[in-house]
Amino acid sequence: MTEIKKSTTIEAWKAALKYILEKGKDFEDKDERVCREILNLMLVIEDPSRDYQRPIEIMNGFEKWVYPSLDEIKQIMLTKEPSATYGSTILGPRIFNYKNTLNQIDDFIIPLLKSDSTSRRAIVSVYDPIMDSKITMKQVISVTNIYFKIKDGKLNLTFFIRSCDYFIGWPVGLFQMHTIQKYVAEKLGILTGSITTISTSAHIFEDNLETIKEVISNEQKRTE
């Protein structure tokens, strides 16, 4: 497994894009798109709270990809109800109303960590084999699990992704994860810490390569 660790969100995103761009292997996926892929990439952001919204702001600047507003992304992440607009791939209902039975955050994660701040059991299940393990499924949720761990008085979060488009998909995913991390941390009365993404398939697409190079180049200039 390859590990990339950076202080801020934008540094981590830029480093991951650059690594996949330079080290990834190309193949043609089922949609006949050329995909450049790295297997088993771990991306650690030590302090995402400083700029967790920045990648979305950059993507919105291209006016080519339409993202929901930041407030809408937060609302979608924290909702308990399925969305007719976004379908079964949204995370909120699976986290806060799993199988119409369990609020995994308010009824398990928060009480668990309040009772035992050293717990290693604070995991949320997102992938549902009853719903998702069907060969005919065209859209399957990408995040499989979310893990919370208190360390040095801060709430750290790790999320596992079976498949992650690091250019278009990851910026929203990171924003969503910080939203849920902040929600839990506030309920616990502690600060947020790091966020780690573990992606089985970390990839970008050939038709986005020139824009990705532009993002990397522009962000390098910003930090010089």
Can you give the CATH number for the domain in which 79 is found?
3.30.572.10
Element (H, E) at 17: helix 9-23
The token pair at 221 is 């200039």
pLDDT at 70 over 90: yes
Tell me the CA distances in angstroms from 110 to 117, 143, 152, 153, 186, one per residue in order.
10, 20, 17, 15, 10
Arithmetic mean of pLDDT, 188-203: 98
Q: Using alpha carbons only, what angle is made at residue 125 by residues 50 and 192, rounded to the nearest 5 degrees?
A: 20
Number of domains in the chain: 1
Give per-residue pLDDT as tens, 104-137: 999 999 999 999 999 999 999 999 999 899 998 8
pLDDT at 50: 96
The token pair at 176 is 């969503």
At residue 224 the predicted structure's pLDDT band, cuts being 50, 70 and 90, is very low
Nearest Cα to Cα of residue 54 among 19, 12, 92, 91 = 12
The residue range of the domain holding 115 is 2-223
At residue 89 the predicted structure's pLDDT band, cuts being 50, 70 and 90, is low
| Predicted model pTM | 0.93
